Amino acid sequence: MCGIIGYIGNRSAIPILVSGLMRLEYRGYDSAGLALSVRGSLKVHKAAGKLFRLKSILPKRSGGKIGIGHTRWATHGAPTDINAHPHLSADGKTAVVHNGIVENAAELRSLLEDEGVEFVSETDTELLAHLIARETDASLEQRVGKALALVQGTYGIAVIHCDESDRIVVARHGSPIIIGVGDREMLVASDIAALVRYTQQVVHLDDGEIATLDAKGFRTMTMDAQPIPKSPSTVSWQDDAYERGEYAHYMRKEIFEQPAAIARTLSGRIEDRFHTAHLGGLNLEASDLRDIKRVKLLGCGSAFYAGVAGAHFIESLARIPASAEPAAEFRYRNPVIERDTLHVAISQSGETLDTLMAIQEVRRSGGPVLGIVNVVGSSIAREAEGGIYMHAGPEVSVASTKAYTCSLVALVLLALHLGRMRDLSIERGSNLIEALKRLPDDIESALATEDSLRDLAQRHARCSSAFYIGRGTGFAVALEGAQKLKEISYIHAEAYPSSELKHGPLALVGPELPTFMVMPHGAMLEKSIVSLEEVKARKGPVIALTHPGDARIARRADSVIEIPHTDDLLAPVVMAIPLQLFAYHCALALGRDIDQPRNLAKSVTVE
Protein backbone atom coordinates (compact mmCIF):
# COMPACT_ATOMS: atom_id res chain seq x y z
CA MET A 1 0.00 0.00 0.00
CA CYS A 2 1.77 3.11 -1.31
CA GLY A 3 5.41 3.00 -2.26
CA ILE A 4 8.50 5.22 -1.92
CA ILE A 5 11.66 5.30 -4.04
CA GLY A 6 14.54 7.77 -3.91
CA TYR A 7 17.93 8.08 -5.58
CA ILE A 8 21.06 10.22 -5.19
CA GLY A 9 24.26 9.59 -7.13
CA ASN A 10 25.98 10.25 -10.44
CA ARG A 11 23.43 8.70 -12.78
CA SER A 12 20.28 10.20 -14.26
CA ALA A 13 17.61 9.74 -11.61
CA ILE A 14 14.52 9.31 -13.80
CA PRO A 15 15.21 5.77 -15.15
CA ILE A 16 16.09 4.54 -11.67
CA LEU A 17 13.03 6.12 -10.08
CA VAL A 18 10.71 4.75 -12.76
CA SER A 19 12.26 1.30 -12.43
CA GLY A 20 11.68 1.47 -8.69
CA LEU A 21 8.08 2.59 -9.13
CA MET A 22 7.46 -0.34 -11.48
CA ARG A 23 8.74 -2.71 -8.79
CA LEU A 24 6.32 -1.09 -6.31
CA GLU A 25 3.23 -1.41 -8.50
CA TYR A 26 2.26 -4.73 -6.92
CA ARG A 27 1.65 -3.03 -3.57
CA GLY A 28 -1.49 -1.37 -4.96
CA TYR A 29 -1.80 2.27 -6.05
CA ASP A 30 -4.01 4.72 -7.90
CA SER A 31 -1.55 7.51 -8.82
CA ALA A 32 2.18 8.03 -9.16
CA GLY A 33 4.69 10.85 -9.31
CA LEU A 34 8.27 11.96 -8.86
CA ALA A 35 10.25 15.08 -8.00
CA LEU A 36 13.73 15.91 -9.28
CA SER A 37 16.25 18.48 -8.11
CA VAL A 38 17.52 20.09 -11.32
CA ARG A 39 19.84 23.11 -11.42
CA GLY A 40 18.61 24.73 -8.22
CA SER A 41 14.89 24.03 -8.57
CA LEU A 42 12.45 21.16 -8.14
CA LYS A 43 10.67 19.61 -11.11
CA VAL A 44 7.55 17.61 -10.23
CA HIS A 45 5.69 15.21 -12.53
CA LYS A 46 2.66 13.26 -11.36
CA ALA A 47 -0.50 11.64 -12.71
CA ALA A 48 -3.52 9.72 -11.46
CA GLY A 49 -3.99 6.20 -12.74
CA LYS A 50 -1.45 3.57 -13.69
CA LEU A 51 2.25 4.21 -14.07
CA PHE A 52 2.15 4.42 -17.87
CA ARG A 53 0.35 7.78 -17.52
CA LEU A 54 3.24 9.19 -15.51
CA LYS A 55 5.81 7.75 -17.92
CA SER A 56 4.04 9.44 -20.84
CA ILE A 57 4.60 12.95 -19.37
CA LEU A 58 8.21 12.55 -18.22
CA PRO A 59 10.90 14.52 -20.09
CA LYS A 60 13.07 12.56 -22.50
CA ARG A 61 16.19 14.08 -20.92
CA SER A 62 16.84 15.46 -17.48
CA GLY A 63 19.97 16.53 -15.69
CA GLY A 64 18.51 15.51 -12.33
CA LYS A 65 20.67 13.12 -10.35
CA ILE A 66 18.64 13.30 -7.17
CA GLY A 67 14.95 12.57 -6.88
CA ILE A 68 12.11 10.92 -5.02
CA GLY A 69 9.11 9.01 -6.38
CA HIS A 70 5.87 7.58 -5.06
CA THR A 71 2.94 5.32 -5.84
CA ARG A 72 -0.13 6.46 -3.88
CA TRP A 73 -3.11 4.49 -2.56
CA ALA A 74 -5.67 7.18 -1.76
CA THR A 75 -6.64 7.90 1.86
CA HIS A 76 -7.06 11.67 2.30
CA GLY A 77 -8.48 12.90 -1.01
CA ALA A 78 -9.52 11.21 -4.22
CA PRO A 79 -6.96 9.72 -6.67
CA THR A 80 -6.31 12.81 -8.81
CA ASP A 81 -3.28 14.44 -10.39
CA ILE A 82 -3.28 17.14 -7.71
CA ASN A 83 -3.51 14.70 -4.81
CA ALA A 84 -0.73 12.47 -6.17
CA HIS A 85 2.68 12.66 -4.46
CA PRO A 86 5.20 14.31 -4.28
CA HIS A 87 3.83 17.42 -2.57
CA LEU A 88 5.58 20.79 -2.47
CA SER A 89 5.84 23.53 0.09
CA ALA A 90 4.34 26.90 -0.84
CA ASP A 91 7.72 28.27 -1.97
CA GLY A 92 8.27 25.22 -4.19
CA LYS A 93 11.59 24.38 -2.51
CA THR A 94 10.64 21.33 -0.43
CA ALA A 95 9.23 18.09 -1.87
CA VAL A 96 7.85 15.24 0.23
CA VAL A 97 6.63 11.71 -0.43
CA HIS A 98 4.82 9.94 2.39
CA ASN A 99 3.42 6.55 3.31
CA GLY A 100 1.07 6.42 6.28
CA ILE A 101 -1.60 8.65 7.80
CA VAL A 102 -1.33 11.90 9.76
CA GLU A 103 -4.00 11.43 12.41
CA ASN A 104 -4.00 15.06 13.57
CA ALA A 105 -4.14 16.35 9.99
CA ALA A 106 -7.22 18.55 10.59
CA GLU A 107 -5.59 20.26 13.57
CA LEU A 108 -2.32 20.89 11.74
CA ARG A 109 -4.10 22.07 8.61
CA SER A 110 -6.01 24.66 10.67
CA LEU A 111 -2.75 25.79 12.28
CA LEU A 112 -1.09 26.31 8.92
CA GLU A 113 -4.13 28.00 7.39
CA ASP A 114 -4.19 30.43 10.31
CA GLU A 115 -0.59 31.25 9.42
CA GLY A 116 -1.63 32.03 5.84
CA VAL A 117 -0.75 28.78 4.09
CA GLU A 118 -2.97 27.98 1.11
CA PHE A 119 -3.35 24.27 0.43
CA VAL A 120 -3.41 22.93 -3.11
CA SER A 121 -4.49 19.33 -2.40
CA GLU A 122 -6.83 17.44 -0.08
CA THR A 123 -4.04 15.25 1.29
CA ASP A 124 -2.52 14.99 4.73
CA THR A 125 0.92 14.73 3.10
CA GLU A 126 0.95 18.27 1.75
CA LEU A 127 0.92 19.67 5.27
CA LEU A 128 4.23 17.84 5.94
CA ALA A 129 5.89 19.88 3.19
CA HIS A 130 4.51 23.11 4.69
CA LEU A 131 5.56 22.12 8.23
CA ILE A 132 9.12 21.41 7.09
CA ALA A 133 9.31 24.69 5.15
CA ARG A 134 7.93 26.52 8.21
CA GLU A 135 11.13 25.78 10.12
CA THR A 136 14.11 28.07 9.45
CA ASP A 137 17.79 28.47 10.39
CA ALA A 138 18.44 24.73 10.51
CA SER A 139 19.64 21.92 8.27
CA LEU A 140 17.10 19.93 6.29
CA GLU A 141 17.26 16.97 8.67
CA GLN A 142 16.73 19.28 11.65
CA ARG A 143 13.73 20.88 9.96
CA VAL A 144 12.29 17.46 9.21
CA GLY A 145 12.77 16.39 12.83
CA LYS A 146 11.08 19.53 14.19
CA ALA A 147 8.15 19.16 11.80
CA LEU A 148 7.60 15.50 12.63
CA ALA A 149 7.57 16.31 16.35
CA LEU A 150 4.16 17.91 15.68
CA VAL A 151 2.77 14.89 13.83
CA GLN A 152 0.61 12.13 15.30
CA GLY A 153 0.12 9.00 13.24
CA THR A 154 2.28 6.84 11.02
CA TYR A 155 4.77 7.83 8.38
CA GLY A 156 7.61 6.78 6.19
CA ILE A 157 8.82 9.89 4.36
CA ALA A 158 11.52 11.05 1.97
CA VAL A 159 12.30 14.74 1.55
CA ILE A 160 14.43 16.78 -0.85
CA HIS A 161 15.10 20.53 -0.96
CA CYS A 162 16.38 22.46 -3.95
CA ASP A 163 18.83 24.51 -1.82
CA GLU A 164 20.32 21.37 -0.27
CA SER A 165 20.48 19.22 -3.37
CA ASP A 166 23.29 17.05 -1.98
CA ARG A 167 21.00 15.01 0.25
CA ILE A 168 17.77 13.11 0.78
CA VAL A 169 16.32 13.04 4.28
CA VAL A 170 14.14 10.10 5.30
CA ALA A 171 12.29 9.21 8.49
CA ARG A 172 10.13 6.42 9.83
CA HIS A 173 7.38 5.85 12.36
CA GLY A 174 5.22 2.80 11.71
CA SER A 175 5.79 2.61 7.94
CA PRO A 176 8.89 0.94 6.47
CA ILE A 177 11.91 2.83 5.14
CA ILE A 178 14.87 0.88 3.74
CA ILE A 179 18.17 2.43 2.64
CA GLY A 180 20.02 0.85 -0.27
CA VAL A 181 23.81 1.23 -0.18
CA GLY A 182 25.38 1.39 -3.64
CA ASP A 183 28.75 2.25 -5.17
CA ARG A 184 28.98 6.06 -4.89
CA GLU A 185 25.20 6.21 -4.95
CA MET A 186 22.43 5.73 -2.42
CA LEU A 187 18.81 4.67 -2.73
CA VAL A 188 15.85 4.57 -0.42
CA ALA A 189 12.57 2.68 -0.71
CA SER A 190 9.66 1.39 1.28
CA ASP A 191 10.16 -2.11 -0.12
CA ILE A 192 13.24 -4.18 -0.91
CA ALA A 193 11.72 -5.00 -4.32
CA ALA A 194 12.59 -1.48 -5.52
CA LEU A 195 16.24 -1.80 -4.47
CA VAL A 196 17.52 -5.25 -5.48
CA ARG A 197 18.15 -4.28 -9.10
CA TYR A 198 20.85 -1.89 -7.86
CA THR A 199 22.15 -3.28 -4.57
CA GLN A 200 21.84 -6.15 -2.11
CA GLN A 201 23.18 -4.04 0.77
CA VAL A 202 20.38 -2.52 2.84
CA VAL A 203 19.75 -0.75 6.13
CA HIS A 204 16.35 -0.81 7.85
CA LEU A 205 15.27 2.25 9.76
CA ASP A 206 13.45 1.65 13.04
CA ASP A 207 10.60 3.73 14.40
CA GLY A 208 11.65 7.17 15.59
CA GLU A 209 14.75 7.29 13.38
CA ILE A 210 15.82 9.73 10.70
CA ALA A 211 18.60 9.39 8.11
CA THR A 212 20.45 11.64 5.72
CA LEU A 213 21.67 10.17 2.43
CA ASP A 214 24.25 11.60 0.07
CA ALA A 215 26.07 10.00 -2.84
CA LYS A 216 28.86 8.78 -0.55
CA GLY A 217 26.87 7.21 2.27
CA PHE A 218 24.31 7.73 4.99
CA ARG A 219 23.94 8.89 8.58
CA THR A 220 21.24 7.64 10.94
CA MET A 221 20.05 9.42 14.06
CA THR A 222 17.17 9.93 16.45
CA MET A 223 14.64 12.67 15.82
CA ASP A 224 16.62 14.93 18.15
CA ALA A 225 19.83 14.32 16.16
CA GLN A 226 21.54 11.76 18.42
CA PRO A 227 23.68 9.46 16.20
CA ILE A 228 22.62 5.82 15.82
CA PRO A 229 25.25 3.66 14.13
CA LYS A 230 23.84 1.10 11.69
CA SER A 231 25.55 -1.39 9.40
CA PRO A 232 24.17 -2.76 6.13
CA SER A 233 22.90 -6.32 5.86
CA THR A 234 22.77 -8.44 2.71
CA VAL A 235 19.51 -9.27 0.96
CA SER A 236 19.40 -12.77 -0.55
CA TRP A 237 16.64 -12.07 -3.11
CA GLN A 238 17.84 -11.26 -6.62
CA ASP A 239 16.19 -8.96 -9.13
CA ASP A 240 15.16 -11.80 -11.48
CA ALA A 241 13.00 -13.25 -8.69
CA TYR A 242 10.61 -10.36 -9.40
CA GLU A 243 10.22 -11.19 -13.10
CA ARG A 244 7.11 -12.99 -14.44
CA GLY A 245 9.09 -15.04 -16.93
CA GLU A 246 6.89 -17.26 -19.10
CA TYR A 247 3.78 -16.72 -16.99
CA ALA A 248 0.97 -14.36 -17.93
CA HIS A 249 0.46 -13.33 -14.29
CA TYR A 250 2.55 -13.26 -11.15
CA MET A 251 -0.22 -15.13 -9.33
CA ARG A 252 0.01 -18.15 -11.61
CA LYS A 253 3.80 -18.10 -11.39
CA GLU A 254 3.63 -18.03 -7.61
CA ILE A 255 1.05 -20.83 -7.50
CA PHE A 256 3.40 -23.04 -9.51
CA GLU A 257 6.42 -22.05 -7.40
CA GLN A 258 4.89 -23.65 -4.31
CA PRO A 259 6.66 -27.03 -4.43
CA ALA A 260 10.05 -25.29 -4.44
CA ALA A 261 8.93 -22.66 -1.91
CA ILE A 262 7.71 -25.29 0.54
CA ALA A 263 10.94 -27.25 0.09
CA ARG A 264 12.81 -24.07 1.15
CA THR A 265 10.58 -23.65 4.20
CA LEU A 266 11.41 -27.23 5.23
CA SER A 267 15.11 -27.08 4.35
CA GLY A 268 17.33 -27.63 7.39
CA ARG A 269 14.36 -27.79 9.73
CA ILE A 270 13.62 -31.52 9.88
CA GLU A 271 15.35 -33.37 12.72
CA ASP A 272 15.23 -37.07 11.89
CA ARG A 273 17.20 -38.18 14.94
CA PHE A 274 14.60 -36.95 17.43
CA HIS A 275 11.62 -36.93 15.03
CA THR A 276 11.01 -33.23 15.51
CA ALA A 277 11.57 -29.84 13.89
CA HIS A 278 14.79 -27.90 14.26
CA LEU A 279 13.84 -24.24 14.76
CA GLY A 280 16.95 -22.41 15.86
CA GLY A 281 15.48 -18.97 15.21
CA LEU A 282 12.87 -19.12 17.98
CA ASN A 283 15.37 -17.66 20.48
CA LEU A 284 13.46 -19.22 23.36
CA GLU A 285 14.91 -21.88 25.64
CA ALA A 286 13.29 -25.29 25.75
CA SER A 287 12.30 -24.59 29.37
CA ASP A 288 10.51 -21.40 28.29
CA LEU A 289 8.59 -23.25 25.59
CA ARG A 290 7.62 -26.01 28.02
CA ASP A 291 6.14 -23.37 30.32
CA ILE A 292 3.78 -22.12 27.59
CA LYS A 293 0.16 -22.71 28.65
CA ARG A 294 -1.62 -21.35 25.55
CA VAL A 295 -0.87 -19.94 22.10
CA LYS A 296 -2.55 -17.03 20.31
CA LEU A 297 -1.99 -16.55 16.60
CA LEU A 298 -2.39 -13.05 15.15
CA GLY A 299 -2.71 -12.06 11.51
CA CYS A 300 -4.82 -10.27 8.93
CA GLY A 301 -6.52 -11.69 5.83
CA SER A 302 -4.89 -14.90 4.60
CA ALA A 303 -2.42 -14.75 7.51
CA PHE A 304 -5.36 -14.90 9.93
CA TYR A 305 -6.81 -17.89 8.06
CA ALA A 306 -3.42 -19.60 8.30
CA GLY A 307 -3.63 -18.94 12.03
CA VAL A 308 -7.03 -20.66 12.20
CA ALA A 309 -5.43 -23.81 10.77
CA GLY A 310 -2.33 -23.28 12.91
CA ALA A 311 -4.38 -23.30 16.11
CA HIS A 312 -5.70 -26.74 15.10
CA PHE A 313 -2.14 -27.97 14.40
CA ILE A 314 -0.88 -26.82 17.82
CA GLU A 315 -3.78 -28.26 19.77
CA SER A 316 -3.54 -31.58 17.90
CA LEU A 317 0.22 -32.07 18.24
CA ALA A 318 1.21 -30.14 21.35
CA ARG A 319 -2.06 -30.35 23.31
CA ILE A 320 -1.81 -26.65 24.16
CA PRO A 321 -4.95 -24.50 23.95
CA ALA A 322 -4.58 -22.33 20.87
CA SER A 323 -6.72 -19.76 19.06
CA ALA A 324 -6.43 -17.33 16.17
CA GLU A 325 -7.57 -13.74 16.15
CA PRO A 326 -7.57 -10.89 13.62
CA ALA A 327 -4.64 -8.72 14.67
CA ALA A 328 -6.58 -5.52 13.96
CA GLU A 329 -9.17 -6.41 16.61
CA PHE A 330 -6.76 -7.79 19.20
CA ARG A 331 -5.21 -4.65 20.65
CA TYR A 332 -8.45 -2.67 20.74
CA ARG A 333 -10.25 -5.01 23.12
CA ASN A 334 -7.85 -4.49 26.04
CA PRO A 335 -6.52 -8.06 25.77
CA VAL A 336 -5.38 -10.06 28.78
CA ILE A 337 -1.68 -10.75 28.17
CA GLU A 338 -0.01 -13.39 30.32
CA ARG A 339 3.62 -14.40 30.43
CA ASP A 340 2.75 -18.07 29.84
CA THR A 341 0.87 -17.26 26.60
CA LEU A 342 2.90 -17.38 23.42
CA HIS A 343 1.77 -14.91 20.75
CA VAL A 344 2.65 -15.72 17.14
CA ALA A 345 2.42 -12.98 14.51
CA ILE A 346 1.94 -14.13 10.90
CA SER A 347 2.66 -11.76 7.99
CA GLN A 348 4.06 -12.24 4.49
CA SER A 349 5.57 -8.76 4.29
CA GLY A 350 6.46 -8.47 7.95
CA GLU A 351 5.15 -4.90 7.71
CA THR A 352 1.39 -5.36 8.24
CA LEU A 353 0.69 -2.42 10.54
CA ASP A 354 -2.21 -3.94 12.48
CA THR A 355 -0.16 -7.04 13.23
CA LEU A 356 2.95 -5.03 14.09
CA MET A 357 1.04 -2.84 16.53
CA ALA A 358 -0.64 -5.89 18.09
CA ILE A 359 2.69 -7.51 18.93
CA GLN A 360 4.06 -4.22 20.20
CA GLU A 361 1.13 -4.22 22.63
CA VAL A 362 2.02 -7.77 23.69
CA ARG A 363 5.68 -6.89 24.20
CA ARG A 364 4.75 -3.76 26.16
CA SER A 365 2.93 -6.05 28.58
CA GLY A 366 5.79 -8.53 28.82
CA GLY A 367 4.37 -11.38 26.73
CA PRO A 368 6.61 -13.55 24.52
CA VAL A 369 6.21 -13.01 20.77
CA LEU A 370 7.32 -15.06 17.76
CA GLY A 371 6.99 -14.02 14.12
CA ILE A 372 6.29 -16.09 11.02
CA VAL A 373 7.26 -13.79 8.14
CA ASN A 374 8.67 -13.96 4.64
CA VAL A 375 10.83 -10.84 4.47
CA VAL A 376 14.14 -10.96 6.32
CA GLY A 377 14.78 -7.83 8.37
CA SER A 378 11.17 -6.65 8.21
CA SER A 379 9.57 -4.77 11.09
CA ILE A 380 7.78 -7.75 12.61
CA ALA A 381 10.92 -9.88 12.29
CA ARG A 382 12.88 -7.25 14.21
CA GLU A 383 10.17 -6.63 16.78
CA ALA A 384 9.59 -10.30 17.68
CA GLU A 385 11.92 -12.18 20.01
CA GLY A 386 12.41 -14.86 17.37
CA GLY A 387 10.49 -16.83 14.83
CA ILE A 388 10.46 -18.68 11.54
CA TYR A 389 11.25 -17.21 8.14
CA MET A 390 9.08 -18.77 5.44
CA HIS A 391 11.72 -18.45 2.69
CA ALA A 392 8.88 -18.47 0.14
CA GLY A 393 10.72 -16.02 -2.10
CA PRO A 394 9.27 -12.70 -3.30
CA GLU A 395 5.49 -12.70 -3.64
CA VAL A 396 4.37 -9.99 -6.05
CA SER A 397 0.70 -10.73 -6.72
CA VAL A 398 -1.61 -9.06 -4.21
CA ALA A 399 -3.38 -12.38 -3.56
CA SER A 400 -1.16 -14.50 -1.33
CA THR A 401 -0.52 -18.04 -2.53
CA LYS A 402 2.92 -19.44 -1.80
CA ALA A 403 3.35 -17.30 1.33
CA TYR A 404 0.05 -18.68 2.63
CA THR A 405 0.99 -22.33 2.14
CA CYS A 406 4.53 -21.73 3.44
CA SER A 407 3.08 -20.14 6.58
CA LEU A 408 0.96 -23.27 7.07
CA VAL A 409 4.08 -25.42 6.81
CA ALA A 410 5.92 -23.16 9.29
CA LEU A 411 3.01 -23.55 11.71
CA VAL A 412 3.10 -27.36 11.36
CA LEU A 413 6.84 -27.25 12.17
CA LEU A 414 6.17 -25.09 15.23
CA ALA A 415 3.40 -27.43 16.39
CA LEU A 416 5.66 -30.46 15.90
CA HIS A 417 8.48 -28.74 17.82
CA LEU A 418 6.18 -27.91 20.74
CA GLY A 419 4.57 -31.35 20.65
CA ARG A 420 7.79 -33.32 20.83
CA MET A 421 8.79 -31.26 23.90
CA ARG A 422 5.69 -32.64 25.56
CA ASP A 423 4.06 -36.01 24.98
CA LEU A 424 3.87 -36.33 21.21
CA SER A 425 5.06 -39.86 20.44
CA ILE A 426 8.12 -40.73 18.41
CA GLU A 427 5.87 -42.65 16.02
CA ARG A 428 3.56 -39.68 15.40
CA GLY A 429 6.52 -37.34 14.94
CA SER A 430 8.20 -39.76 12.54
CA ASN A 431 5.05 -40.22 10.44
CA LEU A 432 4.52 -36.46 10.17
CA ILE A 433 8.13 -35.89 9.16
CA GLU A 434 7.86 -38.45 6.38
CA ALA A 435 4.67 -36.73 5.16
CA LEU A 436 6.45 -33.35 5.24
CA LYS A 437 9.22 -34.76 3.07
CA ARG A 438 6.62 -35.88 0.51
CA LEU A 439 4.77 -32.58 0.62
CA PRO A 440 6.45 -30.87 -2.39
CA ASP A 441 5.53 -33.90 -4.53
CA ASP A 442 1.97 -33.82 -3.21
CA ILE A 443 1.76 -30.16 -4.19
CA GLU A 444 2.94 -31.08 -7.70
CA SER A 445 0.10 -33.60 -7.90
CA ALA A 446 -2.40 -30.96 -6.78
CA LEU A 447 -1.12 -28.58 -9.46
CA ALA A 448 -1.90 -31.28 -12.04
CA THR A 449 -5.62 -30.68 -11.41
CA GLU A 450 -5.42 -27.33 -13.25
CA ASP A 451 -7.21 -28.48 -16.41
CA SER A 452 -10.23 -29.70 -14.41
CA LEU A 453 -10.31 -26.48 -12.43
CA ARG A 454 -10.12 -24.38 -15.59
CA ASP A 455 -13.20 -26.20 -16.87
CA LEU A 456 -14.99 -25.69 -13.55
CA ALA A 457 -14.16 -22.02 -13.61
CA GLN A 458 -15.60 -21.66 -17.09
CA ARG A 459 -18.86 -23.15 -15.83
CA HIS A 460 -19.15 -21.16 -12.61
CA ALA A 461 -17.42 -17.82 -13.29
CA ARG A 462 -20.76 -16.10 -13.97
CA CYS A 463 -22.32 -17.07 -10.65
CA SER A 464 -23.14 -14.18 -8.36
CA SER A 465 -22.16 -15.95 -5.15
CA ALA A 466 -20.58 -19.15 -3.83
CA PHE A 467 -20.35 -21.12 -0.59
CA TYR A 468 -17.20 -22.74 0.77
CA ILE A 469 -17.71 -25.18 3.64
CA GLY A 470 -15.62 -27.65 5.60
CA ARG A 471 -15.10 -29.14 9.06
CA GLY A 472 -12.03 -29.06 11.30
CA THR A 473 -9.05 -27.89 9.29
CA GLY A 474 -11.34 -28.06 6.27
CA PHE A 475 -13.06 -24.92 7.54
CA ALA A 476 -9.73 -23.04 7.50
CA VAL A 477 -9.27 -24.20 3.90
CA ALA A 478 -12.77 -22.96 3.07
CA LEU A 479 -12.03 -19.53 4.59
CA GLU A 480 -8.97 -19.11 2.40
CA GLY A 481 -10.73 -20.45 -0.71
CA ALA A 482 -13.56 -17.93 -0.33
CA GLN A 483 -11.02 -15.16 0.23
CA LYS A 484 -9.19 -15.97 -2.99
CA LEU A 485 -12.38 -16.01 -5.05
CA LYS A 486 -13.55 -12.68 -3.62
CA GLU A 487 -10.33 -10.77 -3.94
CA ILE A 488 -9.38 -11.55 -7.52
CA SER A 489 -12.65 -12.46 -9.31
CA TYR A 490 -14.96 -10.11 -7.32
CA ILE A 491 -17.48 -12.95 -6.95
CA HIS A 492 -19.15 -12.82 -3.56
CA ALA A 493 -18.17 -15.87 -1.52
CA GLU A 494 -18.74 -16.96 2.07
CA ALA A 495 -17.12 -19.68 4.14
CA TYR A 496 -18.87 -21.60 6.91
CA PRO A 497 -18.21 -24.68 8.99
CA SER A 498 -20.29 -27.44 7.42
CA SER A 499 -21.98 -27.91 10.79
CA GLU A 500 -23.41 -24.38 10.54
CA LEU A 501 -25.46 -25.06 7.41
CA LYS A 502 -28.63 -25.78 9.32
CA HIS A 503 -28.17 -22.68 11.47
CA GLY A 504 -28.88 -20.17 8.71
CA PRO A 505 -26.84 -20.53 5.50
CA LEU A 506 -28.94 -23.43 4.18
CA ALA A 507 -31.71 -20.91 3.44
CA LEU A 508 -29.61 -19.60 0.55
CA VAL A 509 -28.78 -22.94 -1.06
CA GLY A 510 -30.36 -23.55 -4.45
CA PRO A 511 -29.59 -24.33 -8.10
CA GLU A 512 -27.85 -20.99 -8.68
CA LEU A 513 -25.43 -21.20 -5.71
CA PRO A 514 -22.39 -23.49 -6.15
CA THR A 515 -20.95 -24.95 -2.94
CA PHE A 516 -17.28 -25.89 -2.70
CA MET A 517 -17.08 -28.65 -0.09
CA VAL A 518 -13.68 -29.34 1.49
CA MET A 519 -13.82 -33.03 2.43
CA PRO A 520 -10.52 -34.53 3.57
CA HIS A 521 -10.75 -38.17 4.61
CA GLY A 522 -10.59 -38.64 8.34
CA ALA A 523 -12.73 -38.55 11.44
CA MET A 524 -15.10 -35.91 10.09
CA LEU A 525 -15.70 -37.39 6.65
CA GLU A 526 -19.00 -39.04 7.53
CA LYS A 527 -20.43 -35.81 8.86
CA SER A 528 -19.17 -33.96 5.76
CA ILE A 529 -21.06 -36.45 3.59
CA VAL A 530 -24.23 -35.64 5.56
CA SER A 531 -23.67 -31.95 4.74
CA LEU A 532 -23.22 -32.86 1.07
CA GLU A 533 -26.59 -34.61 1.13
CA GLU A 534 -28.20 -31.55 2.73
CA VAL A 535 -26.97 -29.32 -0.08
CA LYS A 536 -27.98 -31.79 -2.80
CA ALA A 537 -31.46 -32.13 -1.30
CA ARG A 538 -31.90 -28.39 -1.99
CA LYS A 539 -30.63 -28.84 -5.58
CA GLY A 540 -27.40 -26.98 -4.85
CA PRO A 541 -24.49 -27.81 -7.19
CA VAL A 542 -21.57 -29.29 -5.23
CA ILE A 543 -17.87 -29.23 -6.06
CA ALA A 544 -16.14 -31.69 -3.73
CA LEU A 545 -12.46 -31.29 -2.89
CA THR A 546 -11.36 -34.60 -1.45
CA HIS A 547 -9.02 -37.59 -1.65
CA PRO A 548 -9.51 -40.58 -3.98
CA GLY A 549 -11.43 -43.65 -2.93
CA ASP A 550 -14.90 -42.72 -1.67
CA ALA A 551 -17.58 -43.74 -4.17
CA ARG A 552 -20.31 -41.90 -2.24
CA ILE A 553 -18.71 -38.52 -2.93
CA ALA A 554 -18.10 -39.35 -6.59
CA ARG A 555 -21.74 -40.44 -6.94
CA ARG A 556 -23.40 -37.46 -5.25
CA ALA A 557 -21.18 -34.44 -6.02
CA ASP A 558 -21.59 -32.62 -9.34
CA SER A 559 -17.82 -32.26 -9.68
CA VAL A 560 -14.97 -33.89 -7.77
CA ILE A 561 -11.39 -32.63 -7.46
CA GLU A 562 -9.12 -35.28 -6.00
CA ILE A 563 -5.78 -34.62 -4.37
CA PRO A 564 -3.29 -37.17 -2.99
CA HIS A 565 -3.74 -38.71 0.44
CA THR A 566 -1.43 -37.11 2.98
CA ASP A 567 -1.17 -36.68 6.72
CA ASP A 568 -4.40 -35.21 8.10
CA LEU A 569 -2.60 -32.10 9.33
CA LEU A 570 -1.05 -31.45 5.91
CA ALA A 571 -4.28 -31.75 3.95
CA PRO A 572 -4.97 -27.97 4.34
CA VAL A 573 -1.68 -27.20 2.58
CA VAL A 574 -2.39 -29.45 -0.41
CA MET A 575 -6.08 -28.54 -0.59
CA ALA A 576 -5.30 -24.85 -0.84
CA ILE A 577 -3.81 -25.38 -4.31
CA PRO A 578 -6.98 -26.29 -6.25
CA LEU A 579 -8.85 -23.39 -4.62
CA GLN A 580 -6.13 -20.99 -5.74
CA LEU A 581 -6.32 -22.34 -9.28
CA PHE A 582 -10.12 -22.16 -9.33
CA ALA A 583 -10.10 -18.50 -8.23
CA TYR A 584 -7.36 -17.70 -10.75
CA HIS A 585 -9.26 -19.19 -13.68
CA CYS A 586 -12.55 -17.57 -12.63
CA ALA A 587 -10.79 -14.19 -12.58
CA LEU A 588 -9.16 -14.96 -15.93
CA ALA A 589 -12.51 -15.89 -17.47
CA LEU A 590 -13.99 -12.60 -16.23
CA GLY A 591 -11.09 -10.48 -17.49
CA ARG A 592 -10.08 -9.21 -14.03
CA ASP A 593 -6.81 -7.51 -13.13
CA ILE A 594 -5.52 -10.61 -11.38
CA ASP A 595 -2.25 -9.37 -9.89
CA GLN A 596 -3.60 -5.96 -8.81
CA PRO A 597 -7.28 -6.40 -7.88
CA ARG A 598 -9.28 -3.25 -7.34
CA ASN A 599 -9.21 -1.51 -3.97
CA LEU A 600 -6.57 -3.86 -2.53
CA ALA A 601 -2.91 -3.51 -1.66
CA LYS A 602 -0.20 -6.09 -1.06
CA SER A 603 1.27 -4.64 2.10
CA VAL A 604 -1.23 -2.88 4.37
CA THR A 605 0.81 -0.34 6.31
CA VAL A 606 -2.05 1.86 7.52
CA GLU A 607 -5.00 1.06 9.79
Residues designated catalytic? 2, 602
Query: Within 10 Å of residue 463's Cβ, how many Cβ atoms?
Result: 17
The β-bridge relationship of strands 559-562 and 542-546 is: parallel
Beta bridge partners of 99: 156
First to last CA, the chain: 11
Reduce the secondary structure of 188-236 to three states and give it as a string: EECCHHHCCCCCCEEEECCCCEEEEEECCEEEEEECCCCECCCCCEECC
Distance (Å, whole) CA 120 – CA 143: 22
Cβ(69)–Cβ(32) below 8 Å: yes
Letter string b/e over residues 246-280, b meaning 16 or more CB atoms within 10 A of that residue's CB: eeebbbbbbbbbbbebbbbbbeebbbeeebbbebe
Count how many residues are written for the chain. 607
Distance (Å, whole) CA 298 – CA 370: 10
Query: Within 10 Å of residue 87's Cβ, how many Cβ atoms?
Result: 28
How distant, in Å, are the alpha carbons of 483, 591, 599 from that of 490? 10, 11, 11
Main-chain phi, psi angles of 145, to 5 degrees: -60, -45
Residues 6 or more apart from 390 whose CB is under 8 A from it? 261, 265, 348, 372, 373, 374, 403, 406, 407, 409, 410
